[in-house]
Amino acid sequence: MNQEEIGKFIAQQRKNKYLTQEQLAERLNVNNRSVSRWENGICMPDLSIIKELSKELDITVSELLNARRMSKEELMEMKEMIYCQSCHMPLQEESDKGKNADGTISEDYCKYCFENGEFINYKTVEEAIADSVNYAEYAGFTKEEMLEYAKKMYPTLKRWNN
């Protein structure tokens, strides 16, 4: 995820809708400086309004985060993606999934988080968030972006959402 590319994409989509920064800001209940900062790649929209922003721009959240229009096939593939409910790693292959105590494959957790029906890593969500920066480059984030993303995403995952 490239913050500058996402900003350019937001600006392009806003202009395609013939909206000013002020009009978009008003629709999202933010100030127009926020929209300007997103479009200039200074910061990202808050996770709490990404869905609403996407709706206003007539794009999907996936398109927003990938900073480009996507084909229906690409969107369907992303929609069907399953993520580990402890670390948010994509569970693309059966071999990525952990095992339950009875030896069956876990549909919720990856092999790095869950084995033999028990969690084998982090004791707290704070530990998981702190470790997430080690995977930033793989996920296409800077370390700072990954940390910001993890702080918002991880508490919503099944393991941490008590």
Q: What is the pLDDT of residues 12-38, one digit of tens each?
A: 999 999 999 999 999 999 998 999 999
Amino acid present at 66: N
Q: Where are the domains of the chain?
A: 3-76, 81-156
Half-sphere exposure of 31 (CA within 13 A, CB side): 2
- Which of the following CATH numbers is that of domain 3-76: 3.40.605.10, 1.10.1060.10, 1.10.600.10, 1.10.260.40? 1.10.260.40
At 101, give phi and psi (nearest 5°): -60, -30
Which two three-digit tokens encode residue 73?
């096939």
Cα first-last separation, the chain: 29
Least confident among 19-23, 118-122, 133-137, 153-157: 133-137
Average pLDDT over residues 61-66: 84
Q: How confident is the model at residue 50 (pLDDT cuts 50, 70, 90)?
A: confident
Share of the chain above pLDDT 70, in %: 94
Contacts (Cβ under 8 Å, ≥6 apart) of 134: none
